[in-house]
Structure 1
Amino acid sequence: MQPATVDSPVAAGVRRVVKIHGRGDTAVRALDHVTLDFPAQRFTSVLGPSGSGKSTLMHCLAGLDTVDAGSVRIGRTELTGLPDSALTRLRRDHVGFVFQSFNLLPTMTAEENILLGLRLAGRKPDPAWLRVVVDALGLRQRLRHHPGELSGGQQQRVACARALIGRPQVVFADEPTGNLDSRAGAEVLGFLRASVRELGQTVVMVTHDPVAASYTDHGVLLADGRVAAHVPRPTADSVLAALTGLGV
């Protein structure tokens, strides 16, 4: 089965997506006819209170979860209806992930963790691009260290390098600063922003933090599984005001 394609100038998008968790009386509509586009080479934040659907949206966009109705695409590829094998290839070749918990393998060095995805896919790293990513993240002197020898901020920078090394169409970051102190968090957010502005990357970040959202180009607020507001060129104050307007 070949992936369907659609004409699309965006890096990722959803159309009238519905996602329901549970059945019967316990069913929860996590996403309720959500339509959104995430432009290429932009840094977008997705915010909202607990239970708003922001993490569910990211999982559906990334092909980690299926939808009950609507369509999802990465670039020109329609995810809806793709078999598991095709979804696995798409995530491997076109999507990068940065998680709150870093998800590094403790027995591998920083460099081995960065290159793991490429090696599992049978792809050789581009040495020039590896140098660009490593130097941009300040990891040159840490490549032979294991995760246990690195600070939390350094581990998350390794995770960012791993997400970028394959030059994905889009990077999804799920609360990437949630386990970091304010200084380390600012360093990671600064790099994610630089990866968009200087390296041409596309980043979609789920966060609850107005300060983190202020690093992005555009903020999207969800509430009760629906798009509640857009915050262009967000600042911490404008995001906080928008969240307060939702009663958060």
Structure 2
Amino acid sequence: MSALASDVGTRTAVAARDLVKVYGKGDTAVRALDGVGVAFAAGQFTAIMGPSGSGKSTLMHCLAGLDTVDSGSVHIGQSEITRLSDRDLTKLRRDRVGFVFQAFNLLTTLTAEQNILLGLELAGRKPDQVWFDTIVDTVGLRDRLRHKPTELSGGQQQRVACARALVSKPEVVFADEPTGNLDSRSGAEVLDFLRMSVRKFGQTVIMVTHDPVAASYADRVVLMADGHLAGEIANPTADSVLAALRHLGA
């Protein structure tokens, strides 16, 4: 069992308490998050869903330290990121968090291998070759490492982004609509890999999606509505997620 998997289910990877996030002021102010408290277990794949404007993307951005909060706290492991300086927060995101976005965010001048290793290189860290090989083989990119993004399909590019997110052995991977720019087949490949990273490596994945089929790959779905938690679904199916979203008016 990998080090990532050694304490699956025994700890909380990410936790938010009483999160408030307000955009704007006065009569135009919008409370995107209104006292949200939620925890995410280590070694679990969680999807965050809700209607447009429910606060799901804001919640992810605050959990990942990509946006500030007006009040409340966020912990990644034992670190309260809402109290960190910008410098320390940047270091934490670099060393302990992985990101996969809807836009693949690959550098077109670099090969797939160089894109995967870029974050480690910028951090001055040497890759664990065994771990790199494991990730590359798991994601099915062994014969594409020397290709540049323009020579790869959309699904392959997103798998490069997934490999980049995992190669640093992060405590948590945040995935923001990771299949939004992909066809159904390529999207399924990426979701299979994210689920495999949880089950095989004990990775923690938190994903925002609007797609009930994508959410069905998760172990748990957290529902948002009007800046509040609106429930959750364990062992979701596409049908159970769709029914819950209809109830919320999505």
Normalised TM-score (structure 2): 0.95
The answer to whether the 8 A contact 2:173-2:205 is kept is yes
Q: Secondary structure at the match of 1:198?
A: helix
- Among residues 77, 80, 88, which one is paired with 1:78 in the alignment? 80
The number of aligned residues is 241
1:5 matched to which residue of 2?
A: none
1:9 CA drift (Å): 2.3
The answer to whether the 8 A contact 2:51-2:249 is kept is no
1:180 matched to which residue of 2?
A: 182
Q: Secondary structure at the match of 1:80?
A: helix
The answer to whether the 8 A contact 2:97-2:171 is kept is yes
1:219 matched to which residue of 2?
A: 221
- Among residues 92, 95, 98, which one is paired with 1:93 in the alignment? 95
For 1:52, give the aligned amino acid: S
- Among residues 42, 45, 48, which one is paired with 1:43 in the alignment? 45
Runs of 5+ unmatched residues, structure 1: 1-7
RMSD: 0.8
For 1:30, give the aligned amino acid: A
Determine if the alignment matches structure 1 residue 167 to structure 2 residue 169.
Answer: yes
CA distance in 1 between partners of 2:249 and 2:109 (Å): 45
Q: Post-superposition, which runs of at least 4 consecutive aligned residues in structure 1 deviate over 3 A?
A: none
Q: For 1:72-92, what per-residue CA distance to the aligned partner results, in whole angstroms no more than 9, with x for missing partners?
A: 010110012211000000000
The answer to whether the 8 A contact 2:102-2:176 is kept is yes
- Among residues 113, 124, 130, which one is paired with 2:132 in the alignment? 130
Q: Secondary structure at the match of 1:234?
A: coil
Q: Percent identity?
A: 70
For 1:14, give the aligned amino acid: A
Determine if the alignment matches structure 1 residue 20 to structure 2 residue 40.
Answer: no
Q: Secondary structure at the match of 1:216?
A: coil
| Equivalent residues in 2 for 1:137-216, closer than 5 Å | 137-216=139-218
Normalised TM-score (structure 1): 0.96
2:56 matched to which residue of 1?
A: 54
Q: Secondary structure at the match of 2:182?
A: coil
